[in-house]
Amino acid sequence: MSEQDRVRQAAIEAEATMNDPLPDDAPATRPNRTVPVSVRLSPAMVAEIEALAKRLEIPSSTLLRGWIQQGLAAHHETTVAGALNQLAADLQLLRQIVA
């Protein structure tokens, strides 16, 4: 299984199980619990996002979350190593889009 396939599989599993109850032996807290956020988008924009997500074989919410994280990261101070990691991630996304 390629790295891209493993990432897709992890994203699908995360989306599918994010609201499942924790196992009995798990700690009682969930420090990384997410909070839903609503935004208003035009129907055309939603259709475009959904088409891209389908082409990338990921949920549209995962695609949107990634874009938001990238936007926030662009406003944080970063190191050269962090900038190189972001550049590598952006290059991988570009490869996926043009494939």
Q: Is residue 5 part of a domain?
A: no
> What span, in angstroms and rounded, lies between the C-alpha atoms of 23 and 98?
41
For residue 93, is pLDDT > 80? yes
Q: Is residue 57 part of a domain?
A: yes
Domain that holds residue 91: 11-17+37-98
- At 31 the pLDDT is 65
Q: Is residue 6 part of a domain?
A: no
Q: Is residue 2 part of a domain?
A: no
User: Is residue 64 a contact partner of residue 52, using CB atoms and an 8 Å limit?
Assistant: no
Percent of the chain whose predicted confidence (pLDDT) is above 90 = 20
Cβ neighbour number for residue 56 with a 10 Å cutoff: 19
Report the domain count for the chain: 1
- At 42 the pLDDT is 96
Q: Is residue 86 part of a domain?
A: yes
- At 43 the pLDDT is 96
